[in-house]
Structure 1
Amino acid sequence: MKKKKILIITLTTLFLTIGGFALYMALNYLLHDDYKNWIEPPAVAQEGIEFTALSDSARDIPDMILAAENDQFKLYTNPTTSHVAIYDKDSGMTAYSNPVDLEQDELATGSNRSELQSQIVIDYFDSNRNRVRVNNYDMSIASEQFTLEHIEDGIRYTYVLADNTSETGIVPVTISETELEERILSQLDESDARNIRVNYGPSDSEEGELVLLEGTIRSAIKLDRMNQLFEKAGFTQEDYDALLAEEGESERLSFTVALEYTLTDSGLKVDMPSELIEESEGSSIASIEVLKFFGAQGLDKEGYMLVPNGSGSLIYLNNGKKTDPYSQYVYDLDISSKGYVTTEEREIARLPIFGIKNETGGILAVIQSGDSLSQIKADVAQRLNSYNYVYPTIALRGTEQLSMFGITGNEADLPVVERDRYDVTFSIEYTLLPGEDITYSDMATVYRNQLLEEKRLVKQADMENLPFYLDIVGGVQKQKEILGVPYTSMEIMTSFEEAQSIVHRLTEQDVTNIRLNYLGWFNGGYYHDAPQKIRDVRKLGGQRDMEALKETVEGTGGKLYGDVAFQQVSRTSKNYNLALESAKYYSGMAVVRGKVNPQTVRETASLGYDEAIYSIVSPKFLNRYVGKFADNVVDYPLSGVSLRDLGDVLSSDKKRTEVINRESSKQVVEQAFNQLSETEKSLMVKGGNAYSLPYAEDLISVPTKGAGFHIVDTHIPFYQMVVHGSIPYTGEPINLSGEVDYTRTLLDLIETGSAPRYALSYVNSVEMKYTSLNHYYSTDHNTWVEQASEMYEVVNEALKPVINSAMTSHEVLENGVRKITYDNGHVFYVNRSNEEVEVDGVTIQAMNFEQTEEGR
C-alpha cells in the first residue's frame, strides 16, 4: 500500500510538472501576442460618389477634364485613358501620370508600350505558381473595365484587370441539354436553333451534357457564326461567366485595384487602398508597380533622377548607360528573405524617397505608408523605351525560391508563395517643385521641413562644439586553453577606469563633447546574452566606476552610452529560446546569420567563434525584451543607450501560421523606441532608418556614400542635408575604415558635415586576434589618440559655425569642387582635384577646403 501511494504521488507530481511546463510554454511563447497591440489597421478607402467634371474657366491641359481643384493646384484626368495630370496654378508646371507623347515612342513595343499607358503593373503567381506580369492598360483600360468616382479633394479609379476572352468567345464548350434549350434555342427560330444543335454532341462522361464539337472549335468561321447566334438569343458575356460559375468551372483571371488621387497643399497624394484589392481564386499578387512613369522625362530633357542609395545618388537623364536598371529595397532586403551569399558591400537605402528633375522643375516623392515593403526602381531612356523614369514597387506578399532535388539528380526552383496578402494601404506623396533652379538640395529641404512639421525631426539644442564619437571596446570573449583543453574567458580590453584615462588624454588635447559608446559592458561582453536582464561584467569595474566615467564624459559636454543589440541575439545566449523566439524562414527554420566566410562568401560562418552566429528575434517577442531591459536600465549610471540594430535591421517573420510582415514589424520597432524613450535615457541609433529619426539624439554609421550601381553617376549627401541641424551624426570609425589617406577622410567629414568617430581600447588590439571581434584590428589608444585629437581640432574648428544650422545646398561643380551652403550663410568649398581651383572668387588648394560667409 505504501509503495502504491508513493507511485501515485510520483505520477501526480510528474503530471503536474509536465502540465505546468506546458502551460508555461503556452503562455510565454505560443499564446504571446502582445505585439498585435501596436499594429495599426490600414487606412480605409474614401467614400466615393458619381463623377462629374468640374467647370473650368481656363482649360490648362488639353484633352483632359478638371477633376479637382484647391488654392494651388488643379487635378485633370482623361476618363478614356485614366491618365491624370496635376497643374500648378502659379507656375504652370504640370506633371503627368503617363508620357503625353508616348505615341511617338519608336522604341517601345509589345508590353513595354502597354506599360507606358498603364498606371499599375502587377506581378502575380498563377495556380501553377508561374510568375506572370500584367498591366492595367491591356487588361482594364483597353477593354473599358474601370470606373471613375469623386472622392474628397480628388478622384478614384478602380480597375478590374480581367481576362474576359476565351477560345470560343461566349459559346460554352460544355452545356446541359436543358440549359441549351431553355436559355438559347427557345429564343431562336428553328433554322437558327438547328445550326447550333449540329455543333454540339453528347458527352461521353456525363448524361444530359453536350460538348462543342472539336471541328467547330478549330473553325473560325463556325465559331464566329455560333457567337452571332448566341448574341441573337440575348446571351451575353455576363451570362457566359454566370454559366461557368454555376457549373463549377474555375474562375478566369481577375484582379481589382484602385488608385485614389488627392490634391494636397504641396502636390498630389496617391493611395492604393488595401480593402479595395481583390484577387481571383488561384492567383496571388506578389507586387505592384505604381505610377511607373509619373513625371517621366524624354530624350530631349536634361537633369537627373534622385534615388535613396546610401547617402543619396543621382542618375543623369539620358546618360546612355545600357546597364542594369537601378533597383533597391527601402531599409534593405528583408533578412528573412535574403540569400546567404554576400558578394559586395551594400549601402542601405535609409530614406523612403525618390525624385526627378528637368530644366524647368522637379518632383519629390515620399512613401508615407508601405515603405518597408517597397523597392525604388529607375531606368534611363533607350533601353526599353524613350523615357527616363523612377518609381516605387510594393510587395503584397512574400515569396521565395525553394530548391528542389529529384531522385534522378535533377533540380528545380519551386516558388514558395505566402497564402495571405499583406493588409497594407500603400501611400505616396508627390511634391511639385517648379523653377529652373530647383535641385536635389531643394528636395532635401522639402523633405526635412515635412519631417519637422510632423515632429519626426526637431531642431537640436544649440551646441558649442562638434561631438567627438568614441567607441570603447570593453569585454569580449576570448578562446584560451589549459593543457590543450579549450575554454572561453572574458578578456577586458578597456575597464571603466581605463576608459576614464582615455577620455582624460583626449580632453587634455582639447577634445570636447565626447559621445562615448561603451561596447561589451553587460551580459557577457560584446556578443551579449538576450537583454531582458542586465548583469554587469564585473571585471570592467562596479557601478561606482561606471558612474565616475559618466561624470567624466558628461563633464566634456558629452554623454555615456551603453551599446545593446535587441534583434540580433548570439547563439550562445543562455536566456533565449532560439527555436520559439526567432524569426522564421518559410521552411520553419530560425533565421540565423553570422560572419562572411571569405572562401564561400556565405554570411553564415562562425569562423571559429560560436558567439558570432546570431539569430533574429521575431517581432512577436521584441517588445518583451525591450520592455524588461527598459525597466532595468533606468537605474544604471548611463546617459543613454546605443541601439546597435533597432534602427538598422528590419525583419519580418515568415512563420506560416503567423506571418508578421515588415510593415507590421516596423510598427512594433517604433513601439520599442517608445518604450526606450520612456526611460528618459538618450538614444544613439546605428544606421538611422527613417522610422528611427524621431527618437534618435545621436546617429552613428550613417551612410556617407552610395553603393556602386553602374547606372548611378554620382553620390550626394542627401541624408545629411535632411538631418543636419536636428540630429548630430557620424559615419564608421575612422581607424577601422581602411582609408589610410588622412586628407581624403578630412574632406569627407567637411563635405558631409559629419563628426569624427574612432573606436579605441586601452589594451593593444592584438589581444583581440583570437576573438570574435578580430575585425577591430587597430584600436590601441596609444596609436590613435594623437591623430584623433588632431582630426577633431581641424573638423571642429571648421564646422563649429554650422553645428546648429541646416545644410541647405550641396553642389557638384565641374572642376572637382563641392560647394556646401548652410542656412546661416556659411559656405564650404571642398576641392577633391589635384590642382588649385578658384570658385566664386575663392581659391581652394588641391585636396583641401575653404570656408566663407555669403556676402563676404
Structure 2
Amino acid sequence: RLEYNQPVYGRDQAITLSVKYTVTQQQVLPVFGMVKNDHGYVAVITEGSDAEISALPSSTKSTAYNRVGTTFTLRKKDYYTMGEGNWNAKILTTIAPYTYESSDLQVEYFMLDQDDVSYAGMARRYREYLIETQNFEKKDTSGKLPLFLEVYGAVTKDGNVLGFPTEETVAMTTYKELASILQEAKNLGVDRTVVDYVGWQTGGPNKLVPTKMSFEKKLGGKSEYQNLLKTAEELDATIFPRVEFLKVTGGGNGYSKSKLLAKNVNRTPIQVFKYFLGSGTKALGSTPSFLVSNMLLEEIYGKFDKAYSKLGMNTLSLDALVNMQYTDYRSHAVYDRGYQQSQVSDILSKMSEKTSLLLKQPNAYAMTYADYISSVPSFSSDYLMEDYAVPFVQIVLHGWIPYSSPAISASGDIEEAFLKSIETGSNLLFTITAKETSTLKDSEYNYLYAADYSVWLDTAAEMYKELDGILGDLQSVEIKNHREVEDHVFETLYENGTSILVNYGKKDVTVDGRTVKSMSYDVKKGGN
C-alpha cells in the first residue's frame, strides 16, 4: 500500500474482519507529526477513542505535498455474513448507534524547537507531554541488564478418552523445570532475568474470567511455586504470572455467557478468530476467543484482586487488557472504546499501587503504569511510502522503562533481529518451553513450534552477554538522536555521548573514520 492508514490503538474488535490481507504493526501511540527543513510539529490525539492516522506521500496524483492527519469515525458500520462458507452466502450491512459528541474529539499540536526538528525530537517532545499530563515517571533501570523470557506453563489441547473427545491440560514447563532453566541461564552467564509466565494457573491461559485463582497441579501445585519464587530471588530473576482479563472461551466462574460476553453491532458475541497467513481468511476450524463485556471490567477486577491477594502475589503480567480495544454494543447501552480505555486506566492505577507490572506491547494510556514492557516492535509495517523504520516508541521509553524487542526465537532472521535490538536499545526476549513443542502439533498453540528451550538457551546467553557489553551501562540513559547515515546504516546517539552504528548492508562501510563491517555494529563510548 502506498498510503499509511492505521487506527490508533488497533482496530475495533467489534467490527467484523472477514479477510486479513496484511499484517501491520499496531499504532500504540496517538501521535503524528511532520518536519520540513528547520520547521516541524508533533500532534497528540487527546480526545476521541476512534481516531485513525493517515499519511500520504507527495508522489500521488491527488497532491504535490506530503500530508498527514487524523480522522474520527463517528458512526460505525459492520457486515454480517449469512451462511458463511456456503456458495450462497449473503452479506448484510448494519449501522451502529451514534455515540459521539463534538467535545469528544481533540488534537493538540506542539511546535518543535529548532533543536528538536526531527523524529527523535518529536519523540522527546511526546515524552515531555506524558510527563506533564500522564504522570509518566522513571522506573528502576539500575542493576544488571535483564534477559526477558516468555515461558509457557500449562496449555490445553484436544484429546480423547475411550474415543470420546475431551480437552486435556498439558504441562509444557512445570514450576520445577522453570527453576532449573533459570539456574542454567545463570550458569551460562545471564545475570538477571524477567520472566513472563503464561499458563501458570489452573487450566492454563484464556479459559475463564480470573475471579478465582489457583496453582495448576500438573505444574507442581502451590508448594512447588513457592520453591520457584525462592530460587528466582536467589538468581536475581523476577516471575510475572500472566493473567488474561479480556479473552475467554465462554462463561463460567459465576458469569453466564449472555451477561459476560461483549456484543458486536449485530448484538451477537464478538469472536476473535485466527487468520491464515497465506490467504488472509478466517481459520474457521480453530476455536475463537470471546471478549469480556466492558461494563464488567471493574467488577471482575475487584473479584480478581481478592483472589490474587490470597495467593500472596506482588507481580503481574498483562497482554490483551493493555493492547486490545473494542466497543460493546449492549441492548440497553453502548460501551465504547473510550469507556473501555477509562476502565482499563483505572484498573491499572489500582494494580500499580500494590503490584509490579509487566505489560506486553501496551497502548500509550497503559505504558505509564508499566515497570517492564515486552515485545516493542523493532520492524515497521513496510508501507511503500516508508524509507526506513524509526524507533519512535523506543526513543520515548529508553532510560525510563526497561523494554524488550519481540521474541528473537520467533524471528526469521535472528542475526538481523539481534542488530535491531542493538540499534533500538532493546533488551532480548525469547519464548520458550521445557517440553518439546511437537506435543502441540495440531493444537491452538502450534505457533510455539520453535520454543524448545534446549535449542535456544545457549544462544540466548551468548547474545545476552554481547548485548550487556553494549547496553549494560546505558539502561538509564535517554536516546538523544537516531538517523540513517547512509543506505542501510543507522546511528543511535545517547545523551551521554555514546554512539552506536549498525550496518545492515552487504558491504563494509566507513563513517567518520569508523569502519563497520557488513551485518555488524560499532560502539563509540561517550565521555559524559
Fold shared by both chains (TM-score > 0.5) = yes
Q: Which residue of 2 aligns with 1:617?
A: 292
- Map Cα deviations across residues 546-574 of structure 1 (whole Å, 9 max, x no partner): 12212222333331111111011123756
- Map Cα deviations across residues 461-492 of structure 1 (whole Å, 9 max, x no partner): 24222111112211112333344333222211
Q: Which residue of 2 aligns with 1:374?
A: 51
Contact kept, 8 Å, 1:699 with 1:729, in 2: the verdict is yes
Q: Which residue of 1 aligns with 2:201?
A: 522
Mapping of 1:692-707 within 5 angstroms? 692-707=366-381
Local SS of the residue matching 1:758: strand
Q: Which residue of 1 aligns with 2:75?
A: 397
Q: Which residue of 1 aligns with 2:383?
A: 709
Local SS of the residue matching 2:320: coil
> Per the alignment, do residues 364 and 420 of structure 1 end up closer, same or farther by CA in structure 2, a change over 3 Å counting?
closer
Question: In structure 1, how many angstroms separate the alpha carbons of the residues matched to 2:164 and 2:10?
Answer: 42
> Per the alignment, do residues 833 and 324 of structure 1 end up closer, same or farther by CA in structure 2, a change over 3 Å counting?
closer
Match of 2:8 among 330, 339, 344: 330
Contact kept, 8 Å, 1:627 with 1:672, in 2: the verdict is no
Give the residue type in structure 2 aligned to 1:654.
Y
Shift of 1:383: 2.3
> Per the alignment, do residues 380 and 340 of structure 1 end up closer, same or farther by CA in structure 2, a change over 3 Å counting?
same
Shift of 1:499: 0.7
Q: Does 1:743 align with 2:406?
A: no
> Per the alignment, do residues 783 and 588 of structure 1 end up closer, same or farther by CA in structure 2, a change over 3 Å counting?
same
> Per the alignment, do residues 423 and 641 of structure 1 end up closer, same or farther by CA in structure 2, a change over 3 Å counting?
farther
Percent identical residues: 27
Q: Does 1:784 align with 2:456?
A: yes
> Per the alignment, do residues 399 and 431 of structure 1 end up closer, same or farther by CA in structure 2, a change over 3 Å counting?
same
Question: In structure 2, how many angstroms separate the alpha carbons of the residues matched to 1:688 and 1:746?
Answer: 22
Give the residue type in structure 2 aligned to 1:707.
S
Question: In structure 1, how many angstroms separate the alpha carbons of the residues matched to 2:173 and 2:217?
Answer: 12
Match of 1:650 among 325, 330, 335: 325
Give the residue type in structure 2 aligned to 1:432.
M
Question: In structure 1, how many angstroms separate the alpha carbons of the residues matched to 2:258 and 2:382?
Answer: 37
Contact kept, 8 Å, 1:466 with 1:513, in 2: the verdict is yes
Q: Does 1:690 align with 2:360?
A: no
Q: Which residue of 2 aligns with 1:567?
A: 246
Larger radius of gyration: 1
Q: Which residue of 1 aligns with 2:500?
A: 828
Q: Does 1:759 align with 2:431?
A: yes
Give the residue type in structure 1 aligned to 2:125.
V
Local SS of the residue matching 1:714: coil
Shift of 1:655: 2.6
- Map Cα deviations across residues 247-293 of structure 1 (whole Å, 9 max, x no partner): xxxxxxxxxxxxxxxxxxxxxxxxxxxxxxxxxxxxxxxxxxxxxxx
Q: Which residue of 2 aligns with 1:587?
A: 266
Question: In structure 1, how many angstroms separate the alpha carbons of the residues matched to 2:258 and 2:101?
Answer: 25
Give the residue type in structure 2 aligned to 1:563.
R
Moved more, 633-642 or 387-396: 633-642
Question: In structure 2, how many angstroms separate the alpha carbons of the residues matched to 1:495 and 1:656?
Answer: 44
Shift of 1:826: 1.2
> Per the alignment, do residues 445 and 399 of structure 1 end up closer, same or farther by CA in structure 2, a change over 3 Å counting?
same
Moved more, 376-385 or 836-845: 376-385
> Per the alignment, do residues 777 and 503 of structure 1 end up closer, same or farther by CA in structure 2, a change over 3 Å counting?
same
> Per the alignment, do residues 796 and 603 of structure 1 end up closer, same or farther by CA in structure 2, a change over 3 Å counting?
farther
Shift of 1:619: 0.7
- Map Cα deviations across residues 670-698 of structure 1 (whole Å, 9 max, x no partner): 112123224x1111111110000111111
Q: Which residue of 1 aligns with 2:136?
A: 457
Question: In structure 2, how many angstroms separate the alpha carbons of the residues matched to 1:576 and 1:660?
Answer: 19
Local SS of the residue matching 1:502: helix
Local SS of the residue matching 2:405: coil
Q: Which residue of 1 aligns with 2:231?
A: 552
Between the two structures, name the one with larger relative contact order (CA 8 Å, sep ≥ 6): 2
Contact kept, 8 Å, 2:293 with 2:328, in 1: the verdict is yes
Contact kept, 8 Å, 1:404 with 1:411, in 2: the verdict is yes
Mapping of 1:262-277 within 5 angstroms? none
Contact kept, 8 Å, 2:74 with 2:98, in 1: the verdict is no
> Per the alignment, do residues 380 and 346 of structure 1 end up closer, same or farther by CA in structure 2, a change over 3 Å counting?
closer
- Map Cα deviations across residues 219-239 of structure 1 (whole Å, 9 max, x no partner): xxxxxxxxxxxxxxxxxxxxx
Mapping of 1:402-421 within 5 angstroms? 414=93, 416-421=95-100
Contact kept, 8 Å, 1:731 with 1:754, in 2: the verdict is yes
Question: In structure 1, how many angstroms separate the alpha carbons of the residues matched to 2:495 and 2:62?
Answer: 42
Mapping of 1:206-217 within 5 angstroms? none
Q: Which runs of 5+ in 1 are unaligned?
A: 1-322
> Per the alignment, do residues 522 and 511 of structure 1 end up closer, same or farther by CA in structure 2, a change over 3 Å counting?
same
Contact kept, 8 Å, 1:578 with 1:615, in 2: the verdict is no
Question: In structure 2, how many angstroms separate the alpha carbons of the residues matched to 1:347 and 1:688?
Answer: 12
- Map Cα deviations across residues 286-337 of structure 1 (whole Å, 9 max, x no partner): xxxxxxxxxxxxxxxxxxxxxxxxxxxxxxxxxxxxx643211001111112
Local SS of the residue matching 1:715: coil
Q: Which residue of 2 aligns with 1:316?
A: none
- Map Cα deviations across residues 177-209 of structure 1 (whole Å, 9 max, x no partner): xxxxxxxxxxxxxxxxxxxxxxxxxxxxxxxxx
> Per the alignment, do residues 582 and 352 of structure 1 end up closer, same or farther by CA in structure 2, a change over 3 Å counting?
same
Shift of 1:783: 1.4
Q: Which residue of 1 aligns with 2:275?
A: 596
Shift of 1:614: 1.1
> Per the alignment, do residues 410 and 463 of structure 1 end up closer, same or farther by CA in structure 2, a change over 3 Å counting?
closer
Local SS of the residue matching 1:775: helix
Q: Please tell me the root mean square deviation across aligned C-alpha atoms, in Å.
A: 2.4
Give the residue type in structure 2 aligned to 1:649.
M
Local SS of the residue matching 1:393: strand
> Per the alignment, do residues 606 and 556 of structure 1 end up closer, same or farther by CA in structure 2, a change over 3 Å counting?
farther
Shift of 1:770: 4.1
Instruction: Report the TM-score when normalising by structure 2.
Output: 0.93
Shift of 1:656: 4.5
Q: Which residue of 1 aligns with 2:316?
A: 641
Mapping of 1:93-132 within 5 angstroms? none
Question: In structure 1, how many angstroms separate the alpha carbons of the residues matched to 2:101 and 2:331?
Answer: 13
Q: Which runs of 5+ in 2 are unaligned?
A: none
Question: In structure 2, how many angstroms separate the alpha carbons of the residues matched to 1:699 and 1:637?
Answer: 23
> Per the alignment, do residues 439 and 605 of structure 1 end up closer, same or farther by CA in structure 2, a change over 3 Å counting?
same
Contact kept, 8 Å, 2:77 with 2:93, in 1: the verdict is no
Contact kept, 8 Å, 2:408 with 2:418, in 1: the verdict is no
Q: Which residue of 2 aligns with 1:75?
A: none
Question: In structure 1, how many angstroms separate the alpha carbons of the residues matched to 2:258 and 2:513?
Answer: 66
Question: In structure 2, how many angstroms separate the alpha carbons of the residues matched to 1:827 and 1:574?
Answer: 54
Shift of 1:398: 2.6
Shift of 1:784: 1.2
Q: Which residue of 1 aligns with 2:61?
A: 383
Shift of 1:448: 1.1
Q: Does 1:492 align with 2:171?
A: yes
Match of 2:214 among 517, 527, 535: 535
Q: Which residue of 2 aligns with 1:838?
A: 510
Q: What is the aligned residue count?
A: 523
Question: In structure 2, how many angstroms separate the alpha carbons of the residues matched to 1:347 and 1:664?
Answer: 24
